[in-house]
Chain A
């Protein structure tokens, strides 16, 4: 069961042709697939593609109605290999994953696929997890496209362009017998927008038809001599076919502008940011009308030589806006210009940063630098003093300190500006009309351009001081997470047996690297926890420890980690964290999930697989919250004389999913008048002394601090807030670490039975009597 349900949203996939679709980018892409007559879809979840997988999963009925086969692949390699169905048969297939990590995993299959080429359209939809909020290494999918010769689409980030890209992607793939990658940036995946739909199409050729009429063509198989021929085919026939298709269908866009002696070349995905950056410089409006001509590369690979040359010819200078490094496109364009004898100056990573996300502000600054160099008269004149020198942290936010006047645009002769739009409701409506920029002459730069400071001088200093106050918020384990106690136990075991080398893996459990646990030395890739400790298989006083999640285990860890450890007689400890789901990617089911899933086979225990590949020392802990038991298992694994891999399977259900499952059941039971017990934890404020050792060993979001209210206690005390789900980890940690007796568990009995009430009455009578005796003694001294 996935974290987010799209059951309601997927109904939009059925809306009639010609109607307007409104929703998230990823849902629009799914609609695009259905409009393209796709036969099969597969993929592996991971942000920002998890939603696409969840959408497809929730749209299973609709897919079945259309005869579309959907698979949740075991890994990205599986997904990529799934596209093999389109090699011999005219079936359209799409696969999806998170890039670049997923593309790394898939690259073997992708390279083979690209070498032999495809008959049916093969589309790889990748979610480019790059820039703010990204959890992976910052690299480009572009390199994969180039090395394997797969065409790369990077459409403008609006729903219409993205859906077009899906449809064109299949056509391009078929026209050039080459797989196509559709690259979606993270914000495009989650953008809410609209587009006009077309009819969903059933596949023209189905997988069943293919199975009934099997075909084989040795020339498509990557084996000599065919593989040598493939290389030639790629450049001699497939490339030209692709170029032809891209040109004819105008996949790349040219936008005119009156400043025709300069131009901007940009990746389609950057379009909205570029337009905003231009707008901030007074060179574009909010609808994409730009004074500077644009060449928008919705296809970023291959680069179309003719189009580039045509765009640049006769221009003084062009700026290439290309996010990520190396600057493959810029290099390519430099070659084109040189070879075609076009003498426009090419700017790119010189005026823009070489690395890092191209935010609107970054591009605005880059554009400004470009214009200052090549077309200064188009920039607003800044006749103000230089900006205040600032502290580095504030400098990023500070910009020119200036109020300046735009040159009267009409002087350019050919720029028509629509006069002040009559009060169109917007201005009249808005309280204080926050943003209306009347289009009258002359424009004030501060209305459109970089915000100058009309701020008090001390403002920037104050902002830089904020850096010392505003705390970082590293990601961490959720409230009640069953993985937290495993790391509490590991911390305690290390306190006893000393620090060890710990190899981590991808998954929620990677948060152990961050505060408060600060555990783990490396992370090498999904499912590679055990593999990345492989070298440490030498005699030593301390064994190495590696961590792996259930998601990673099934992704490849079983073979690459456990199998490898058995084969090489690895003497370390491998902890497999089994929380019943691929939790980090949104709670999807996997082989070992406990849920009953009607379209997948679940309930295949990890322990059987581990034993199946030959592990002898295995401990299964079915309640990770017993910190002392987990600690004991870890200590045993680290000290046992037994040789070979020591595998601990620590299993408890992901609390996020568990709560989603149990909460409605609990509420229903209370409503029905059934006796149910709700547990939560608390801290006695007068017993707590405010040392916070419990927090350092737990880090649960619901375990927080508050003022003691006691003049004698200077430090804030621990406090369990209302989000507590009663997992008991804090109490167990206090036990295991011998901390303090301030934790208690409160069991709240809803709908108590007669017997409960009777017992309570008896207890209350005795306890009440004794309590009042003692209160009396205390009360007489109170003042």
Chain B
């Protein structure tokens, strides 16, 4: 009988999860190079291929001391892929990739250190959702805490940006800072130097990553998804605004005040203080209704929802507002910051605008606008201008003056066709809320929230508006039926499922059948 002799020596196993372009391969190569220079036997492999085109992939490294190899007298047989439950160090270049590592079983509480950058790079599914499709980061953070022996979760992308480098360098730093590999800081830094590309920036990012990982809290902080609500200021400099603010503070429930502040700011910014006063009055009417039908017990749900959507409805998106926003000094500054323009560089922006006949008519005085819309000849003539998208250079005199003049039409806004149209829809909405609240308070709140669908411009606006109208019609039908609010909420979610509202229509048809 033969005998079997086992040799001592067990590799350190490292899995790196990265998306295409994040430099996962660079990181793996660095680790291998560092190990080999420190007299370790290292192997890495990966499955690049299409995964590199925006997909995600795993790089896998194993290494063991060459002294073990010498003692064994033969080269090691290292694995080509990570085995769930058998990985010492998992490095994820993005938070959801960290989640994927846990999902794949690579992270185990008895063994694995998990280093994950806490930043998010949204997947196409999250980005293309009609509402908010962003996945819950805290689920990954909580699970990482349970799944890993040690979980280091810091924003390594931000640190890389700060250093003017790429995330592979800050990840390499975090690996060093985690203390999971038996190499010194010099070993790490020498590896970067040997690479010879962008050395200084890489070393800066490395140092930041190392620092962050070494000082990372034992329990990573949760990501706050709460929107910070505006503070309610004590006072304002302009007397009219001060009066409105006092009114707001004295006559409205505290729960609704922050949203009212945001709404007041928006409506004043959109038009003028008088318009802001009108806004407060509209919400006041709904607040009264709220009180009358038990809002106090429901934390003033109706008033709070109304504070948001009355403002959104009143400060609709029109050409005048767009021109105004695009010509402001603050906007010019913001763009400079966004593209990182230096003082000695010039910056010009070109605006992509594609108004339709409806938008042009909307800015005309109502009777004229209506006439043009109804006249085949006139709208045809205008239509010619609207066939193509326009490029406007907002930094040149012609472009700027055009937009500036358009923004100046604010003072005539109340008489435009668009304002009439918006007003009509707005009033109908308010009436429906007023009629519904006495019958079904919760349904009334949902009706307020349906306004979420009306947004955007041109085609987008039209699609949203048409879905909104369908919802509002359904809301009127639902009144008096059991669980009407719940039904309407479901319908609203269905409306966000696709562009044309196909799912909404299907559900509406079912609703009709139920009613019959």
Q: How far is the CB of A414 from chain B (nearest CB, A)?
A: 4
A393 within 8 A of partner (CB)? yes
Chain A residues near B99 (CB-CB < 8 A):
466, 469-470
Contact in complex: A187, B45 (CB < 8 Å): yes
Contact in complex: A771, B339 (CB < 8 Å): no
Q: How far is the CB of A214 from chain B (nearest CB, A)?
A: 42
Give the residues from 716 to 773 in chain A that come closer than 8 angstroms, CB to CB, to chain B: 716, 731-732, 734-741, 743-750, 752, 756-757, 760, 762-763, 766-768, 770-772
Chain B residues near A360 (CB-CB < 8 A):
79, 81, 83, 86
Q: Which one, A398, A467, A771, contacts B327 given CB within 8 A?
A: A771
Contact in complex: A285, B6 (CB < 8 Å): yes
Chain B window 329-370, contacts with chain A (Cβ cutoff 8 Å), 1 for yes, 0 for no: 111100100110100111111111111100000000000000
Contact in complex: A276, B128 (CB < 8 Å): no
A286 within 8 A of partner (CB)? yes
Give the residues from 72 to 113 in chain B that come closer than 8 angstroms, CB to CB, to chain A: 72, 74-81, 83-86, 88-89, 96, 99-100, 102-105, 108-111, 113
Q: Which one, B84, B111, B129, B354, contacts A692 given CB within 8 A?
A: B129
B222 within 8 A of partner (CB)? no
Given contacts A133-B49, A736-B389, contact A287 B77 (CB under 8 A): yes
B134 within 8 A of partner (CB)? yes
Which of A431-439, A527-535, A574-582 lies at the binding interface?
A431-439
Select from chain A the residue with minimum beta-carbon distance to B326: A684
Contact in complex: B347, A692 (CB < 8 Å): no
Chain A residues near B355 (CB-CB < 8 A):
741
Chain B residues near A680 (CB-CB < 8 A):
339
Q: How far is the CB of B504 from chain A (nearest CB, A)?
A: 15
Q: How far is the CB of B99 from chain A (nearest CB, A)?
A: 4
Contact in complex: B458, A738 (CB < 8 Å): yes
Cα-based distance from A745 to B391 in the complex (angstroms): 10
Instruction: Give the interface size bracket for B toward A.
Output: 35 or more
Cα-based distance from A465 to B242 in the complex (angstroms): 50
Select from chain A the residue with minimum beta-carbon distance to B400: A767
Chain A residues near B46 (CB-CB < 8 A):
187, 190
Contact in complex: A257, B4 (CB < 8 Å): yes
Contact in complex: A434, B88 (CB < 8 Å): yes
Chain A window 412-451, contacts with chain B (Cβ cutoff 8 Å), 1 for yes, 0 for no: 0011111011001110011110111111000000100011
Contact in complex: A693, B2 (CB < 8 Å): no
Which of A346-354, A604-612, A694-702 lies at the binding interface?
A694-702
Which of A80-88, A222-230, A304-312, A703-711 lies at the binding interface?
A703-711
Q: Which one, A132, A418, A430, A684, contacts B6 given CB within 8 A?
A: A418
Contact in complex: B241, A781 (CB < 8 Å): yes
Contact in complex: A439, B134 (CB < 8 Å): no
Contact in complex: A687, B326 (CB < 8 Å): yes
A477 within 8 A of partner (CB)? yes
Q: Which one, B104, B111, B229, B308, contacts A397 given CB within 8 A?
A: B104
B48 within 8 A of partner (CB)? yes
Contact in complex: B311, A712 (CB < 8 Å): yes
Chain B residues near A437 (CB-CB < 8 A):
10
Q: How far is the CB of A293 from chain B (nearest CB, A)?
A: 8
Cα-based distance from A634 to B75 in the complex (angstroms): 60
Q: Which one, A273, A291, A414, contacts B81 given CB within 8 A?
A: A273
A253 within 8 A of partner (CB)? no
Which of A112-120, A315-323, A380-388, A453-461 lies at the binding interface?
A453-461
Q: How far is the CB of A93 from chain B (nearest CB, A)?
A: 27
Which of A243-251, A508-516, A588-596 lies at the binding interface?
A508-516
Chain A window 112-130, contacts with chain B (Cβ cutoff 8 Å), 1 for yes, 0 for no: 0000000000000000010
A355 within 8 A of partner (CB)? no
Chain B residues near A417 (CB-CB < 8 A):
5-6
Contact in complex: A711, B258 (CB < 8 Å): yes
Give the residues from 168 to 193 in chain B that come closer than 8 angstroms, CB to CB, to chain A: 179-182
Chain A residues near B476 (CB-CB < 8 A):
none
Given contacts A455-B109, A463-B103, contact A693 B460 (CB under 8 A): yes
A689 within 8 A of partner (CB)? yes
Chain B residues near A770 (CB-CB < 8 A):
327, 400, 404
A473 within 8 A of partner (CB)? yes
Q: Which one, A185, A420, A684, A712, contacts B325 given CB within 8 A?
A: A684
Select from chain A the residue with minimum beta-carbon distance to B101: A470
Chain A window 512-554, contacts with chain B (Cβ cutoff 8 Å), 1 for yes, 0 for no: 0001100000000000000000000000000000000000000
Chain A residues near B298 (CB-CB < 8 A):
none
Given contacts A192-B45, A425-B67, A455-B146, contact A430 B12 (CB under 8 A): yes
Which of B201-209, B374-382, B440-448, B449-457 lies at the binding interface?
B449-457
Chain B residues near A732 (CB-CB < 8 A):
352, 389
B200 within 8 A of partner (CB)? no
B419 within 8 A of partner (CB)? no
- Majority secondary structure, A binding face: loop
A478 within 8 A of partner (CB)? yes
Chain B CB within 10 A, most for which of A465, A467, A711, A741: A741
Q: How far is the CB of B340 from chain A (nearest CB, A)?
A: 8
Contact in complex: B460, A739 (CB < 8 Å): yes
Contact in complex: B83, A431 (CB < 8 Å): no
Contact in complex: B456, A455 (CB < 8 Å): no
Give the residues from 286 to 304 in chain A that come closer than 8 angstroms, CB to CB, to chain B: 286-291, 293
A691 within 8 A of partner (CB)? yes
Given contacts A458-B146, A508-B53, A735-B354, contact A287 B72 (CB under 8 A): yes
Contact in complex: A276, B79 (CB < 8 Å): yes
Chain A CB within 10 A, most for which of B12, B54, B230, B332: B54
Given contacts A133-B57, A466-B140, contact A748 B122 (CB under 8 A): no
Chain A window 678-692, contacts with chain B (Cβ cutoff 8 Å), 1 for yes, 0 for no: 001010101101111
Contact in complex: B68, A191 (CB < 8 Å): no
Contact in complex: A465, B139 (CB < 8 Å): yes
Select from chain B the residue with minimum beta-carbon distance to A277: B83
Q: How far is the CB of A191 from chain B (nearest CB, A)?
A: 4
A211 within 8 A of partner (CB)? no
Cα-based distance from A429 to B38 in the complex (angstroms): 11
Given contacts A133-B57, A191-B44, A696-B499, contact A691 B351 (CB under 8 A): no
Cα-based distance from A471 to B407 in the complex (angstroms): 42
B509 within 8 A of partner (CB)? no
B427 within 8 A of partner (CB)? no
Chain A residues near B347 (CB-CB < 8 A):
746-749
Given contacts A190-B48, A260-B2, contact A451 B85 (CB under 8 A): yes
B514 within 8 A of partner (CB)? no
Select from chain A the residue with minimum beta-carbon distance to B395: A763
Q: How far is the CB of A722 from chain B (nearest CB, A)?
A: 8
Chain B residues near A431 (CB-CB < 8 A):
179-180, 182
Contact in complex: A766, B397 (CB < 8 Å): yes
Chain A residues near B491 (CB-CB < 8 A):
none
Chain A window 186-223, contacts with chain B (Cβ cutoff 8 Å), 1 for yes, 0 for no: 11101111000000000000000000000000000000
Chain A residues near B67 (CB-CB < 8 A):
424-426
Cα-based distance from A438 to B38 in the complex (angstroms): 22
Contact in complex: B81, A160 (CB < 8 Å): no
Cα-based distance from A434 to B341 in the complex (angstroms): 47
Chain A residues near B64 (CB-CB < 8 A):
286, 426
Q: How far is the CB of A463 from chain B (nearest CB, A)?
A: 6
**Shortest beta-carbon contacts, A-B, top 9:** A397-B105, A451-B85, A735-B389, A421-B8, A429-B182, A783-B236, A133-B47, A471-B123, A689-B455
Q: What are 30 A-B contacts defined by CB distance under 8 Å? A: A185-B80, A258-B3, A293-B2, A397-B85, A425-B65, A426-B182, A435-B11, A437-B10, A455-B147, A473-B54, A474-B55, A475-B50, A476-B54, A689-B455, A693-B460, A704-B122, A704-B127, A711-B229, A712-B259, A712-B262, A732-B352, A735-B389, A740-B456, A741-B353, A744-B394, A745-B352, A746-B338, A746-B348, A746-B349, A748-B341
**A740-B458, A774-B324 given. 20 additional CB < 8 A pairs?**
A191-B45, A256-B2, A256-B4, A258-B3, A416-B5, A426-B9, A426-B68, A431-B180, A434-B88, A473-B19, A475-B51, A686-B331, A696-B499, A710-B262, A711-B229, A734-B354, A738-B459, A746-B348, A752-B344, A775-B329
